[in-house]
Each structure stands twice: as C-alpha cells, then as structure tokens.
Amino acid sequence: MTSNVTARTALILGATSAIAEAVARLFAAEGMRLLLVGRNAGRLQAIASDLTVRGAAAVETEAQDLMTQAEIHPLFDRLAAKLGGRVDYVLICHGYLGDQALAARDQAEADRILAANFSSAALWTLAAAGHLRRQGYGSLVVLGSVAGDRGRRANFVYGAAKAGIATLCEGVAHDFAAGGPKAVVIKIGPTDTPMTAGFDKRGPLWSKPEQVAAVIRRAADGSRPVVYAPGFWRWIMMVIRAIPAPIFNKMSI
Amino acid sequence: MSAFQKTEAIRSWGRVQNGPHWAAAPHWRDEIPALLGEQAPARAAVLATGLGRSYGDSGLNVGGRALAMTRLNRLIAFDPATGLLRSEAGLSLADLIAFCVPRGFYPPVVPGTSYVTLGGMVANDVHGKNHHAAGTIGRWVTAIDLARSDGSQLRLTPTQHADLFSATIGGLGLTGVMTEIEIRLRPIQSANMEVEDIPFANVEAFFDLARESEGSWEYTVAWIDCVSAGRKLGRGIFTRARHAADGPLEAGPAGARLSMPIDLPRWAFNSASIGLFNEVYWRRKAQRRGTRRQKLTKILFPLDSISRWNRMYGSGGMYQYQCVVPPDSASDAVRALLAQASAAGEGSFLAVLKTFGGVASPGLLSFPMEGATLALDFPNRGERTLALMERMDRVVAEAGGRLYPAKDGRMSSAMFKSGYPNWRRFAAHVDPAFSSGFWRRVMA
Ligand SMILES: Cc1cc2nc3c(=O)[nH]c(=O)nc-3n(C[C@H](O)[C@H](O)[C@H](O)COP(=O)(O)OP(=O)(O)OC[C@H]3O[C@@H](n4cnc5c(N)ncnc54)[C@H](O)[C@@H]3O)c2cc1C
Ligand SMILES: NC(=O)c1ccc[n+]([C@@H]2O[C@H](COP(=O)([O-])OP(=O)(O)OC[C@H]3O[C@@H](n4cnc5c(N)ncnc54)[C@H](OP(=O)(O)O)[C@@H]3O)[C@@H](O)[C@H]2O)c1
C-alpha cells in the first residue's frame, strides 16, 4: 500500500459481515486506506472492488480464519505493518449466532458460539489494544449485542459471550482512559443481515445495516465506551434490565 | 434448512395483486447458482425481484420462489474516462445517482422514481423523459452476466450471445438472474436542470409543443387533465428540461422527507376530490411560467419525496394503465382514451403523456416504440375499473399500440400477443425454471 500514505486507515476483522461492510463504505467515502480480514477470499475481493470504486484510497484483503489463530499478537502486528504501521481504526466484527437449543445439549455448538463471540473476539481485542497502546493513538471498535445485557432463554449462550466481550472492551476503555487511544463496544439491536436470515423481520425494532453503520461510524470518533445501535436500544435495555425476575420469567421475549 | 422462507413482504406497487412467496435474499453473487438449484419448496418456479416498483404481477411469482436481489448492490468497476460502470444487479438507482453525480456523471436513462434496481430497469428496458434523445436504458447496457437454472453463467453483450442479450433486455426477469450489469453513464456539468412549464389547451397543442421542443430539450413530459369534461378535457402542462451547463455537482439529499402513514379510506377518492386536485394543479402550474433552475432529482423523481405514496389509493390498491400508440394514430387514440376515462368518471390524479422518439428499442419485448405514451392511475374499484380498461384496450389495439408489462396486472393473452409480435422468439429464451404471475397469465 503505497498510494496516499497520509490517508487515515482502518483494519477490519470479520470484514465480510454485512454490518462491517456498511461501515467500510462510510470509510471508503472518506477516502481512507482499508485492510479487510475475513475467511472467504472471494467475498473479501468483491467488497474490496466496491470500496475501491466508492473512493477508498487503497484496499487490501487478507484471508484468515479469526478463530484458529494461535499467535494473534504477531499476526496483528503483521497486519498493522501492511497499513504502514499506522492504524487509526480497528473494528472487530466477526460473530456467530448459533443455535441455542442445540448448544444446550451439544458441547461443540456451545463451544463454537463461545469461541467466536467471546474467546476469539477477546484475544483479537487484546492484541489490538496492545498495538494501539504502543502506537499511542487509534480507535478500537468491538461489535457486541443487546443480547449481552440480560440473559434470556432464546439465546443466552450467545448473550453470555457478548456480555463477556462487552465487559472486556469496557475494561480496555478504562485502561485507555489516561489518554491516547480509545475503545468502544457497540451494543447492536436486531439487524437485517445474513446472521438473522431466518427471522421474521416485521416490526419497528429491526434495523438495516446502514442505520447501524452510521451509529458505529460516529461512535468510532466519540468518547463513550458503550454505545447502543440504534440509540433507542439504550432505553429499551434499561427497562428490560429493570424488570423483576418473577415478571421477566413469564415473558416470552 | 431451505434458504427460502415464506413471506408476504414481496408486494406489487399497485397492491392489487399479492400473495405469499418463498424468498431468499442472497448477499453474495456466489450464492446464486446453489439457490437456483435448490428444489425446495417442491420445484416451484423462480423469479428475481428488485425494489418492487412494478405495478402489477410482472414482478411477482406468487406461490413460487423469489430471489430478492437488493443486497447485491456492490460496485465492481468504474472508468471515468469512458463512463463505463459495472455493478451488481441489485444496486438501487438512488445509490447509483449518489455515487455518480459528484463525479460528473448521470445514468443515461432514468424512470420516474429512483427507488428501482439496475436489474429491474434492464428487465423492463425502462424509458425516461429523454426517450426522444436517448432511447431506452438497454441501449446503454454493454454487458450482462446472467445466471441460468442449468448452472451456466453467461456474459451477454450486443455481440456475444446476442440473441439472449436482446431477450434479457426487457425480458421481465424470465431469461435468468442478472448478477452483474455494465452500463455507460453520460457526463453532466451540473446537478441542476433548466426547466420550463408551458400550459396547453388540448391534445393537438401538446403534439405541437412536443415537436417544437425535441431538438433542444432533452427531457419532455406532460401532465394532462383527464377529468374535466368538454372543452377542458385534454388541457395540460408541458414540462421540458435540460441539464444545466454549469453549477454544483451535489446529488442532494436522498430519501423521502414525508411518508404516507396509512391507507387512505376509499371515500377520499371520488370524482370530486380528483377533479379538485386536477383543477388546483392546473391553476398552480399555469401561473408559473418561464424557465427556472432546479435540482435534477426534484424534476425527474417528483414523487420520491413521499415514501409509500401508493397507499394514497387505499387498501384496495390501484391500477396503472400505460400504453403506447404509433405516430399516425397517436392524436386520435389519445383523445379517445381520455374521453373513455373521463366518461367513466374514473379520472386519475396523475395522467402523464409523452412522445417516444424513433430510436429502436433493443429488447425483443421492449415496450417503447415511436409514438405517444399515455399513463393513467385508477383506484381499484373492481369490475368497473377492469371494464374501463378493457374498453381502452380496444382503442389501443385498433391503433396498433401496446401496453407496458411493468404497469400491468390484467391484460389478456390476446392483447399481449398482438402488442408484442416477437413473443414467440422471446419465449424460446425463457429459462424453464423461471416464471412470473404475468407470464403465466399471458401464456395461458
Ligand atoms: C413512481 C413510478 C414511476 C415510474 N416511472 C417509470 C418510467 O418513467 N419509465 C419506465 O420505464 N418505468 C417506470 N416505472 C416502472 C419501473 O421503472 C419498473 O417497474 C422497474 O422495473 C422497477 O424496478 P424494480 O427494481 O422495482 O424491479 P421489480 O419491480 O421488483 O421487478 C421488475 C422486473 O425486473 C425483474 N428483475 C429485477 N431484478 C432482476 C435481476 N437481477 N435479474 C433478472 N430480473 C430482474 C423482475 O423479475 C421483474 O420482471 C415507474 C414506477 C413507479 C413506481
Ligand atoms: N445482525 C444482528 O441482529 C446483530 C445483532 C447484534 C450484534 N450483532 C453482531 O454484529 C457482528 C456482525 O454480524 P452481522 O449481523 O453483520 O452478521 P453477518 O453478516 O453474518 O457477519 C458475521 C461475520 O462473521 C464472520 N466470521 C464468523 N466466524 C469467523 C471466523 N472464524 N473467521 C473470520 N470471520 C468469521 C462471518 O464470515 P463468513 O462470511 O466467512 O461466515 C461473517 O462475515 C457480529 O459480531 C454479530 O454478533 C449482530
């Protein structure tokens, strides 16, 4: 990546996610340099062409399975080097919704859910945080979920993993509070993406990836460590967390 | 688990024809062959769908499978030296305009709304207000990638698989799924247009204005009063516009500022309210004379600022009747059609009249041909409305004209076959796994 080294940069992990792609389009329109990491080389290429045409200063891709990496810290530094050592934004986007009913009886499914949404996301968050701390600036954005705010029978394995990654990211933000880089976890509400392909999407609570992306783009430059996307979920989750257990237990939400 | 889910969400713009589909929404081009091959549910026919702006059943495949294409909206390549743009077929026109206007380019042909996909535009070989200058969108398509149910993926161009290319342009989605489309954009110097509104007294005066304007005004269209009886019938406002030679290149805000929150009740739509609308519209426009400058999106997509305006016609929905009649019979036929609508007391808010130029359309089933095209909206009042449109069919058929499938949900098989003499040649290119409500009806 030689062209326009002064342009700001973003490293996007799990870049084939629909939400990540929508954020990447906003970055591209700003003329940034982008490095996309995901496990499907062909799909990364399709996104890269789009972002290039839409105005990104440069786009590179790297095919990596983010869950099977033993040596994440050196890999992260190698990725950062591809951006010329300058990393303005890191987005950690990969995730796996999984099947709650299956996870309740099948260890492998539970493990996949916990690994994708917590362990692997956490290890990449730690590696990114280390790099940004050494670099002295940059913004770390981790995609969490409103599902992490209260356990419910429909998806609590996924929810627990998202709660874990939110706590970890808050800790990083606290650690960064002295100055320099910053970190934010985005608690996303139900969004129309491949992850939710089988769901009935009628009703006002469903968002489009573009709406969520606009919130993420602002949050990446903001100063809050926890941001809901769209913002109204903050109020909904405040209410849901406050519902006493005897009532909550009777609800089918 | 099947990738196809049962849904009621795929609807026609006119809202008369509707019903359940088994839908899948691919996010990646590489998913399409497998989706076409999927036999669930029970070998149902398949149809690609765009933004659902077709009025009747040509964009519906009720009871069958639908491939919702709008998530396939990536740009693939753009060359500012030639204006060639290649993108996935689900790209919306609004998105394309937001991309190309700041770069000094514009789509060579646009329909009256920007909420359509590129695939939908090509499948209906759409025309714009600049038909006399630019022809249809198909003339600007340089390549189409088509996925067929036999697993083949073909690149079609005017010289490569030329027959299938001309069947696919205006092919109503029946020849396969367009995955990628390449078109040639045209340069513009400004996001503004020079516009002029001119009142006219009758159909003859319309044709005189059209003839006089075509040389120097790229875009022309007229609103015509189809409610008033007697002398006022056929009066209208002729609007002509051209791209400004200088000015800012900002596309302007996208998206609607207003929304129609509910279906209006039936009683809101009666001859009195429609008549009043026509009178007020006439007076407002007739007072504003001379040229002005306006954002091109305002001129070309006047209804896009109100989302879901189709709900204005109430829960019963509406029909649009759009025909084209050849030059020789145009004036008489248009007068006869307006008289039918007026006599039936079924006048519409939006009656649009425009001339088509002599540029040949490239598709086997393309709608535009040289002559005049008239489009009328009718609230759905059941048998009464259908009977009126059948009377109008007789005028159109007698004049040697035809109806626009993108707007149609009721034309008879005979009406289709007489209007589209190439239909047999076209039918040979239809992918056997593909069908639509429209196709089943006109082939029955
Ligand atoms: C307010 C308004 C104004 C209009 N003005 C005009 C006008 O001025 N001129 C004009 O010509 N039309 C006009 N139209 C009609 C409109 O341009 C067409 O109906 C257009 O095809 C709609 O595109 P869509 O993306 O909504 O497609 P849909 O309506 O969803 O589908 C239309 C057709 O395209 C096919 N299709 C869609 N995507 C693909 C694909 N990827 N591969 C294969 N087939 C595909 C479908 O199978 C179907 O046959 C207007 C419509 C409205 C609502
Ligand atoms: N959609 C919602 O309703 C919602 C709500 C709250 C939070 N979120 C969160 O938002 C984030 C983005 O999800 P999305 O909605 O955009 O769904 P999505 O389009 O399905 O994206 C999920 C992405 O994660 C990638 N991924 C999974 N495991 C991976 C691995 N081991 N290595 C590399 N990439 C991997 C997938 O890549 P492949 O394409 O290779 O499978 C896929 O691109 C996720 O963290 C999700 O949990 C989503």
Three-state DSSP at A178 gives coil
User: Is the distance from CB of A133 to CB of A181 less than 8 angstroms?
Assistant: yes
CA distance B113 to B42: 36
Domain-embedded: residue B126:
yes
CA distance B364 to B164: 9
Task: Report DSSP letters for B349-415, one per residue.
Answer: S-EEEEEE-SPPP-STT----SEEEEEEEEE--THHHHHHHHHHHHHHHHTT-EE-GGG-S---HHH
Q: Using the predicted structure, report yes or no on whether residue B252 has a pLDDT greater than 80.
A: no
pLDDT at residue number B40? 66
pLDDT band at A199 (very low <50, low <70, confident <90, very high): confident
Quote the tokens at residue B309: 């305006």
Quote the pTM value: 0.95
CA distance A83 to A5: 9
Say how many C-beta atoms besides its own lie within 10 A of residue B255's C-beta: 10
Of A46, A49, A198, the CB nearest to B28: A46
Instruction: Indicate the range of A27-36, B179-188, B345-354 predicted with least confidence.
Output: B345-354
Residue A43: list chain B partners with CB under 8 A.
Answer: 28, 30
Sheet holding A182-188, edge to edge: A58-63, A33-38, A9-13, A89-92, A139-145, A182-188, A226-229
pLDDT at residue number B268? 64
CATH number reported for the structural domain that contains residue B108 in this entry: 3.30.465.10
Domain-embedded: residue B36:
no
In this structure, are B305 and B401 located in the same domain?
yes
pLDDT at residue number B42? 59
**A contact test, residue of B4, B6, B28 with most A CBs within 10 A:** B28
The partner residues of B67 in beta bridges, in order of sequence, read: B24, B48
User: Is the distance from CB of A144 to CB of A186 less than 8 angstroms?
Assistant: yes
Quote the tokens at residue B336: 């006869």
Range of the domain at B306: 192-413
- Mapping DSSP onto H, E and C, the string for B146-164 reads EECCCCCEEEECCCCCHHH
Name which residue leads in pLDDT, B226 or B412. Answer: B412
Question: Hey, are the CB atoms on A18 and B27 less than 8 Å from each other?
Answer: yes
Note whether A203 contacts B: Cβ–Cβ < 8 A: no
Q: Of B357, B407, B403, nearest to B129 (Cα)? A: B357
Work out the minimum CA distance from A14 to partner chain B, whole angstroms: 15
Residue A194: list chain B partners with CB under 8 A.
Answer: 27
Q: Residue-wise over A110-133: b if at least 16 C-beta within 10 A, else e?
A: bebbbbbbbebbbbbbbbbbebbb
Question: Hey, are the CB atoms on B76 and A47 less than 8 Å from each other?
Answer: no
Q: Which amino acid is at B245?
A: A
User: Is the distance from CB of B58 to CB of B406 less than 8 angstroms?
Assistant: yes
Q: What is the mean pLDDT of chain B?
A: 91
Domain-embedded: residue B405:
yes
Q: What is the mean pLDDT of residues B194-219?
A: 95
Quote the tokens at residue A47: 């996104």
Q: Of A41, A42, A15, A38, nearest to A28 (Cα)? A: A15
pLDDT at residue number A66? 97
In this structure, are B162 and B201 located in the same domain?
no
CA distance A33 to A60: 8
User: Is the distance from CB of A160 to CB of A177 less than 8 angstroms?
Assistant: no
Domain-embedded: residue B200:
yes
pLDDT band at B434 (very low <50, low <70, confident <90, very high): very high
Of B5, B76, B99, the CB nearest to A49: B76
Interacting residues of B42 by C-beta distance below 8 A, sequence separation 6+? none
Work out the minimum CA distance from B74 to partner chain A, whole angstroms: 5
In this structure, are B308 and B336 located in the same domain?
yes
Say how many C-beta atoms besides its own lie within 10 A of residue B69's C-beta: 26
pLDDT at residue number A28? 98
C-alpha torsion A137→A139→A140→A142, nearest 10: 170
Residue B271 CB-half CA count within 13 A: 11
Element (H, E) at B78: strand B75-79
Note whether B245 contacts A: Cβ–Cβ < 8 A: no
In this structure, are B97 and B147 located in the same domain?
yes
**B contact test, residue of A49, A191, A193, A206 with most B CBs within 10 A:** A49
C-alpha torsion B236→B237→B238→B244, nearest 10: -170
Task: Report DSSP letters for B307-322, one per residue.
Answer: ETGGGGG-TT-EEEEE
Note whether B5 contacts A: Cβ–Cβ < 8 A: yes
The partner residues of A91 in beta bridges, in order of sequence, read: A12, A141
Residue A54: list chain B partners with CB under 8 A.
Answer: 75, 99
pLDDT at residue number B256? 62
Question: Hey, are the CB atoms on A202 and B9 less than 8 Å from each other?
Answer: yes
**Residue among B54, B114, B156, B435 whose CB has most ligand 1 atoms within 8 A, to mutate:** B54
In this structure, are B164 and B283 located in the same domain?
no
In this structure, are B157 and B279 located in the same domain?
no
Question: Ligand 1 centre from B59 Cα, in Å?
Answer: 8
Residue B75: list chain A partners with CB under 8 A.
Answer: 49-50, 53-54
CA distance B189 to B177: 35
Quote the tokens at residue B280: 């007020």
Question: Hey, are the CB atoms on A49 and B3 less than 8 Å from each other?
Answer: no
pLDDT band at A2 (very low <50, low <70, confident <90, very high): very low
Q: What is the mean pLDDT of residues B58-85?
A: 97
Residue listed under structure tokens 């693939």? B76
Note whether B264 contacts A: Cβ–Cβ < 8 A: no
Work out the minimum CA distance from A54 to partner chain B, whole angstroms: 7
In this structure, are B286 and B358 located in the same domain?
yes
The partner residues of B78 in beta bridges, in order of sequence, read: B85
Q: What is the ipTM of this complex?
A: 0.93
Q: Of B351, B349, B341, nearest to B272 (Cα)? A: B349
Q: How far is CA A221 from CA A7, B203, B381, in A?
A: 16, 60, 55
Question: Hey, are the CB atoms on A54 and B99 less than 8 Å from each other?
Answer: yes
Residue listed under structure tokens 């069908």? B435
User: Is the distance from CB of A18 to CB of B27 less than 8 angstroms?
Assistant: yes
CA distance B377 to B15: 13
Q: Of B323, B351, B336, nearest to B418 (Cα)? A: B323
In this structure, are B98 and B126 located in the same domain?
yes
B83 Cβ below 6 A of ligand 1: no
pLDDT band at B403 (very low <50, low <70, confident <90, very high): very high
pLDDT at residue number B326? 98
pLDDT tens track for B338-379: 999 888 887 676 789 999 999 999 999 999 999 999 999 999
pLDDT at residue number A134? 96
A105-111 own/partner pairs: CB under 8 Å, 24+ apart = A110/A157
Question: Hey, are the CB atoms on A43 and B1 less than 8 Å from each other?
Answer: no
Q: Using the predicted structure, report yes or no on whether residue B271 has a pLDDT greater than 90.
A: no
Q: What is the mean pLDDT of residues B252-264?
A: 66
Note whether A46 contacts B: Cβ–Cβ < 8 A: yes
Minimum Cα–Cα distance from A47: chain B residue: B74
Domain-embedded: residue B37:
no
Cα A157–chain centre separation:
18
CATH number reported for the structural domain that contains residue B278 in this entry: 3.30.70.2520
pLDDT at residue number A203? 83
Quote the tokens at residue B310: 């189709």
Q: A9-248 falls under which CATH superfamily?
A: NAD(P)-binding Rossmann-like Domain (3.40.50.720)
pLDDT at residue number B227? 76
User: Is the distance from CB of A84 to CB of A5 less than 8 angstroms?
Assistant: yes
Question: Hey, are the CB atoms on A43 and B9 less than 8 Å from each other?
Answer: no
Using the Cα atoms of residue A29, residue A30, residue A33 and residue A38 in order, give the sign of their dihedral. Answer: negative
In this structure, are B159 and B222 located in the same domain?
no
C-alpha torsion B163→B166→B167→B173, nearest 10: 140
Q: How many domains are there within chain B?
A: 2
Domain-embedded: residue B10:
no
Work out the minimum CA distance from B129 to partner chain A, whole angstroms: 28
Three-state DSSP at A73 gives helix
Q: What is the mean pLDDT of residues A187-215?
A: 93
Enumerate the active-site residues of A.
Answer: 158
In this structure, are B234 and B327 located in the same domain?
yes
pLDDT tens track for A49-72: 999 999 999 999 999 999 988 899
Element (H, E) at B342: helix B327-343
